């Protein structure tokens, strides 16, 4: 045991060091990419602040105050140093620090994407398992077509159609926004998650109103997630069902339920961790269109409105946040994969 522990410790240190170096390089590349994209887009941040008709001396003063007269490398070095200290600048639209805006807007995105992911997992994984088990039958083809539609049809088009049918015509769900105007300000923000905060405050009317508003966008995100998760689950399960241990279990008289769920799906759960993590990251970064259509006050809508207003500090800050979340989820899935896979022990 002493020899094994001596071997494990250097491996653990090497793994942590490798992951730390990978994260550091990834973050550096992410910040460099967002910064230089912000410099090449055809938007003048100075003109967006002072106005197109501002006097030249006012323009030049703001240009100098923003450090735009310095070399690009010097600007990037300052941007990198400020970002590492958590200073993303000030949004000239909200006149608040970008970090403050991110903290205020992100919970709405987190709530929406999390519910969408839960819906995607509880429907996508069983659909993928059924599709693989009934390979090349009408069940398989039907599930693949449903997934293909969700993967191919633009989500903003589905959102507009959903609003028209289920809100405007049938009145089954709430409209745009997180709440009706009547309920705004009733629940004090504690977690930023309106469903949780309304329950903590004992406001059942607010809770059910929030449920009505989040239902349609969450279902659409869940459908989008289902399309990816079911397709990948099917691929993984087909590989597992073709393994020799599945044939052995059937020869020993194990039921089909036990073969598929207890054996094949159990082994498929290891790569499914990565699939679900990537899907979650995709929902967090890809909710811009859904939030724009539904006027959802989340980070995606914040980035989109900031881009239209040429508020580059807000755009870059929000982009870095989304990128950081994606990096974290990839790192988490990698760690879980190593922990769950017995071959990596």
**pLDDT tens digits, 181-204:** 888 888 888 888 989 999 998 889
Q: Are 26 and 129 members of one domain? A: no
> Using an 8 Å Cβ cutoff, are 338 and 273 in contact?
no
Residues 6+ apart with CB under 8 A from 209: 174, 179, 180, 183
pLDDT digit string (tens) for 298-335?
888 888 888 777 777 888 888 888 878 877 887 777 77
Q: Are 72 and 109 members of one domain? A: no
Q: Are 239 and 285 members of one domain? A: yes
Q: How many CA atoms are closer than 13 Å to the CA of 192, on its beta-carbon side?
A: 16
The pTM is what? 0.81
Domain boundary, last residue among 18, 49, 84: 84
Q: Cα 86 vs. chain centroid, distance in angstroms?
A: 21
Spatial separation of the C-alpha atoms in residues 134 and 192, rounded to whole Å: 43
Q: Are 132 and 184 members of one domain? A: yes
Q: What is the mean pLDDT of residues 231-253?
A: 85
Residue 3: is its pLDDT beyond 50?
no
* Residue 130 banded pLDDT, cuts 50, 70, 90: very high
Domain boundary, last residue among 84, 119, 135: 84
Q: Are 278 and 154 members of one domain? A: yes
Q: What are phi and psi of 90, to 5 degrees?
A: -115, 135
Q: Is residue 247 part of a domain?
A: yes
Q: Are 65 and 110 members of one domain? A: no
Question: Which two three-digit tokens encode residue 166?
Answer: 């289920």
Q: Is residue 209 part of a domain?
A: yes
- Least Cα distance to 329 among 269, 268, 279 occurs for 279
Which H or E element spans position 148?
Answer: helix 138-152
**Total number of domains in the chain:** 2
Query: How high does pLDDT run on average in the chain?
Result: 82
Q: Is residue 94 part of a domain?
A: no
Q: Is residue 146 part of a domain?
A: yes
Look up the CATH number of the domain holding residue 312: 1.10.3720.10
Q: Are 213 and 116 members of one domain? A: yes
Question: Which two three-digit tokens encode residue 12?
Answer: 């653990």
Residue 63: is its pLDDT beyond 90?
no
Q: Are 59 and 155 members of one domain? A: no
**Domain around 10:** 2-84
Between helix 138-152 and helix 98-133 the angle, nearest 10°, is: 160
Spatial separation of the C-alpha atoms in residues 239 and 232, rounded to whole Å: 11
Query: Regarding predicted confidence, which is higher, 36 or 105?
Result: 105
Q: Are 194 and 296 members of one domain? A: yes
Q: Are 74 and 151 members of one domain? A: no
Question: In this prediction, what percent of the chain has a pLDDT beyond 70?
Answer: 88
């Amino acid at each position: 045991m002493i020899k094994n522990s001596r071997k494990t410790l250097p491996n653990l240190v090497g793994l942590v060091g490798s992951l730390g170096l990978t994260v550091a390089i990834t973050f550096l590349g992410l910040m460099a990419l967002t910064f230089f994209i912000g410099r090449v887009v055809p938007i003048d941040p100075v003109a967006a602040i002072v106005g197109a008709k501002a006097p030249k001396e006012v323009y030049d003063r703001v240009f100098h105050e923003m450090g735009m007269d310095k070399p690009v490398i010097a600007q990037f070095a300052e941007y990198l140093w400020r970002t590492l200290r958590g200073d993303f600048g000030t949004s000239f639209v909200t006149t608040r620090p970008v970090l403050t805006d991110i903290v205020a807007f992100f919970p709405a995105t987190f709530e929406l994407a999390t519910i969408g992911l839960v819906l995607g997992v509880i429907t996508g994984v069983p659909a993928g398992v059924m599709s693989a088990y009934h390979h090349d039958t009408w069940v398989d083809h039907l599930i693949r077509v449903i997934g293909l539609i969700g993967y191919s049809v633009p989500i903003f088009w589905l959102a507009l159609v959903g609003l028209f049918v289920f809100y405007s015509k049938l009145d089954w769900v709430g409209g745009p926004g997180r709440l009706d105007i009547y309920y705004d300000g009733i629940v004090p923000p504690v977690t930023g998650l309106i469903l949780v905060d309304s329950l903590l405050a004992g406001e059942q009317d607010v809770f059910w109103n929030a449920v009505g508003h989040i239902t349609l966008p969450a279902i659409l995100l869940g459908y989008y997630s289902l399309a990816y998760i079911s397709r990948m689950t099917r691929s993984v399960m087909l590989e597992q069902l073709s393994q020799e241990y599945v044939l052995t279990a059937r020869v020993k008289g194990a039921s089909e339920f036990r073969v598929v769920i207890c054996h094949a799906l159990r082994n498929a759960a290891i790569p499914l961790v990565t699939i679900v993590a990537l899907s979650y990251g995709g929902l967090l970064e890809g909710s811009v269109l859904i939030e724009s259509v539904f006027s959802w006050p989340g980070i995606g809508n914040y980035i989109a409105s900031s881009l239209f207003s040429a508020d580059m500090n807000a755009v870059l800050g929000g982009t870095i946040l989304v990128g950081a979340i994606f990096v974290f989820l990839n790192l988490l899935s990698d760690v879980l994969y190593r922990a769950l896979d017995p071959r990596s022990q």
